Structure 1
Amino acid sequence: MDPMAFAEEVLAAQPFSKLVGTRIVAFGDGEAVLELDIRDDLRQQNGYVHGGLLGYLADNALTFAAGASVGGNVLTSGFTIDYLRPAVAGVLRAEGRVVRAGRGRVVSRCEIFTVDERGASVLCAVAQGDIAVLSLA
């Protein structure tokens, strides 16, 4: 199966990803890029995108990047995220890439940006994660 088609199938199987409207726009060679449109129902009380949504996006981008490196049988062990600026408008874009891939675990990093209608981007958050490679046995 084509790697991008595989990634789209995995994403489509995630009910929460469907709920928030996440799209995978790049997948391969230890990298993955996910996007979703900022909507009013994804905001917290101050009008910013809820931090939990940024955490979800980081988690998925980290794990999809790991899967693009070692195969699809991966699961997040843990990650940290630093919120740098509030996400307010446009499209959220999470760019994940593998730092190091081993047989049993993968370390990935992610940057999350808002991208406006002109294509200008603002860095909102950074994350790093430890992704477990699951055995099929």
Structure 2
Amino acid sequence: MTGLDLTAAQKVLDSQPFSALVGARLTAFGGGAATLEVDIRPQLQQQNGFLHGGVLAYAADNAITFAAGTTLGPHVLTGGFSIQYVRPATGATLVARAEVAHTGRRQAVVRCELFAAAEDGERTLCAVAQGTVLLA
């Protein structure tokens, strides 16, 4: 979000009740990119012990929107996004890394890769997303 730093962007994220519920945090923000992380815990898993797909979709949506905000400014909304699940997410942390592919006057197109990170830091790709973010 143009003019904001990581600390200010985290405050915006913290103001979203659902983000607080899942325990999301921004670990990188700026220059057309953003990284959002969520600790994988039992309350966020589905019946087979994998991270619920809705949590992956949430992480993609917010990472995409925050990345676009670095180029469009702070008043943005997701116009739409698609997500392709590659494999089940298991491990310690979900990492959603989004990067702006193109910014116009009123919208940005953003790609996002979602990884499940193990305790030792090894990352496994679990989903890929792409979205369009619009000025509000």
TM-score under structure 1 length normalisation: 0.95
Q: Which runs of 5+ in 2 are unaligned?
A: none
Q: Secondary structure at the match of 1:59?
A: helix
1:2 Cα deviation after fit: 4.7
What's the CA shift string for 1:7-41, capped at 9, x where partnerless?
11110100000011001000000100000100001
CA distance in 2, matches of 1:53, 1:78: 16
Match of 1:72 in 2: 74
The residue that corresponds to 2:95 in the other structure is 93
Paired AA for residue 105 in structure 1: Q
Matched, 1:22 2:24: yes
Are 1:38 and 2:70 counterparts? Answer: no
Measure, in 2, the Cα distance between the counterparts of 1:2 and 1:65. 12
Gap regions ≥5 residues in structure 1: none
The CA deviation at 1:117 is 1.5
* Residues 72-116 of structure 1: CA deviation (Å, up to 9, x unaligned): 111001000000010012100000010000111100010000111
- Which AA in structure 2 matches 1:47? G
2:2 corresponds to 1:5: no
What is residue 86 of structure 2 aligned with on the other side? 84
1:117 alignment partner, SS class? coil
Q: Which residue of 2 aligns with 1:61?
A: 63
Q: In structure 2, how many angstroms separate the alpha carbons of the residues matched to 1:38 and 1:77?
A: 27
Could you tell me how far apart the structure 2 residues matched to 1:46 and 1:29 are?
38
Indicate the SS of the match to 2:50: coil
Distance, in Å, in 2 between the alignment partners of 1:70 and 1:42 is: 31
Structure-2 separation of matches of 1:93 and 1:82: 15
CA distance in 1, matches of 2:72, 2:31: 9
Give the direction of change, closer, same or farther, for the CA distance of 1:114–1:97 in structure 2 (3 Å limit): same
Q: What count of residue pairs does the alignment treat as equivalent?
A: 134
Two-structure CA RMSD over aligned residues (Å): 1.0
